[in-house]
Amino acid sequence: MSAPLTRIAAAEDGVPAARPGSGRTGRWLRRAGRHRVALTLAFLLILPWIAPYQALAVTILVLGLYALGFNLLFGYTGLLSFGHAAFLGGGAYGCGIAIVRYGLHPVLALVAGTLLATLIAAAMGVLAIRTRGIYFAMTTLALSMCVYYGFYQAESFTGGENGLRGINVPSLTLPGLRLSLLDPIVKYYAVLAVVGLAVWLFSRLLSSPFGAALEAIRENESRAQACGYDVRRMKLVAFVLSGALCGLAGALQAIHLSIVPIETMHYSTSGQAVMMALLGGMGTFFGPFVGAATFALLQDGLATLTSHWQLFVGAIFIAFVLFLPLGIWGEVLARLRRAGW
């Protein structure tokens, strides 16, 4: 009957983020928690100047949003999904198709992509939420494979095996503003404007009564239900919101890469979200960006050394599960907290 145990419940001093209502956090961490959006944005503002190259910074930004959306479900609601590629891919295809086939304005295309991902999430969620615990991971994986094959088959719309090509957005025209996205720095800050908005909304969501209820569900599902929460409905809403955020990330990725490879929807992309959330620290606000940066840098660095970088990514991931289950940022927070910060 007990709720699926999460990594947080298993960890030694696993108080995840500094968040309202969690006790015994030192003064500095509490203060940082109150300004988590500002601090995150400050980091993202300087990221292109510390990243090895600027296109990688955009990748980190987009992957960070993807991991952030995933973390809403995994870290804050306690549901482990292995199907989030369907949302990243849904957002990417939705945005790409809107631009390539219908010539929509990029901003509207972002909306279209997010909407498509939201719809996919709703359809998958209605089914997946009927299973609990470990079966949820299995069901979401299987359902996302179904979406993958669907998009694979719908060749006239999605380009099938070859992916969707030609999503060229050289510039962005807004009222009174014209930005050239060919300049990587301009592109980065344009993407950051969207990601920053999403980060702010995400923070509001976590602080809201709904966010509190999600944490309660993560901590103890049957208790939350006995308190009067309709746990199933709340999980579904969390699933859909998580899908929408990942869809937005996918839409941004489509514009960033100007192509949507079919692999975007593949199981391994779902696994990437899991890896980033775990590397960074699940259930922490800033962890997804740390995880995304770690993953992107690892991939980028290893790929120049060996074509078999996945071997090392897998081994590093295993090491994290065994020895550093809180993830990088989660471990940092736990140590600072123990030190009385």
Tokens of 309: 């970088």
Restricting to residues 81-110, name those near other proteins by CB under 8 A.
Answer: none
Whether the CB-CB separation of 257 and 61 falls below 8 Å is answered with: no
Among 28, 317, 324, 332, indicate the residue that binds other proteins (CB under 8 A): 317
Task: Pick the closer one to other proteins by CB: 11 or 60.
Answer: 11
Which residue lies nearer to other proteins by CB, 175 or 228? 228
φ and ψ at residue 173, rounded to 5 degrees: -105, 115
Binding residue for other proteins (CB under 8 A) from 37, 104, 119, 133? Answer: 133
Nearer to other proteins, 255 or 269 (CB): 269
* Burial status of residue 12 (CB atoms within 10 A of its CB: 0-12, 13-18, 19 or more): exposed
Task: Give dist(CA 286, CA 307) in Å, integer.
Answer: 30
| Half-sphere CA count of 232, side-chain side, radius 13 A | 7
Considering only residues 5 to 24 of the shown chain, the ones binding other proteins according to CB under 8 A are 5-10, 14-16, 20-24
Q: Decide if residue 162 touches other proteins (CB under 8 A).
A: no
Restricting to residues 271-290, name those near other proteins by CB under 8 A: 271, 274-275, 278
- Is there binding between residue 303 and other proteins (CB under 8 A)? no
- d(C-alpha 99, C-alpha 105), whole Å: 7
Residue 262 binds to other proteins (criterion: CB under 8 A): no
DSSP E strands, the chain: 164-165, 171-174, 177-180, 259-260
Q: Using CA atoms, how far apart are residues 239 and 236, in angstroms rounded to an integer?
A: 5
Cα distance between residue 64 and residue 47, in whole Å? 12
Site for other proteins in 190-219 (CB under 8 A): 204-205, 207-213, 215-216, 219
Residue 114 C-beta: closest distance to other proteins, Å:
16
Instruction: Please choose, out of 49-57, 84-92, 169-177, 308-316, the segment that lies near other proteins by the rule CB under 8 A.
Output: 308-316
- What distance lies between CA 177 and its chain's CA centroid? 30
Give whichever of 188 and 295 is closer to other proteins, judged by the CB atom: 295
| Part of the chain binding other proteins (CB under 8 A), chosen from 45-53, 99-107, 183-191, 320-328 | 320-328
Q: What mask, x for binding other proteins by CB under 8 A, covers residues 236 to 255? A: -x------------------
Q: Is residue 171 part of the contact set for other proteins (CB under 8 A)?
A: no
Name residues contacting other proteins, limited to 217-236 (CB under 8 A).
219-220, 222-231, 234
Q: Does 125 bind other proteins (CB under 8 A)?
A: no
> How far is 79 from 119, CA to CA, in rounded Å?
19
What is the token pair recorded at 63? 């992957």
Closest CA relative to residue 224, chosen from 232, 233, 213: 213
Task: Supply angle C-alpha 162, 89, 192, rounded to 5.
Answer: 115
The count of chain residues that interact with other proteins, using the rule CB under 8 A, is: 77
Contact with other proteins (CB under 8 A) among 107, 149, 173, 335: 149
Residue type at 46? I
Type and span of the H or E element at 172: strand 171-174
Binding mask 47-86 for other proteins (x = CB under 8 A): ---------------------------------x------
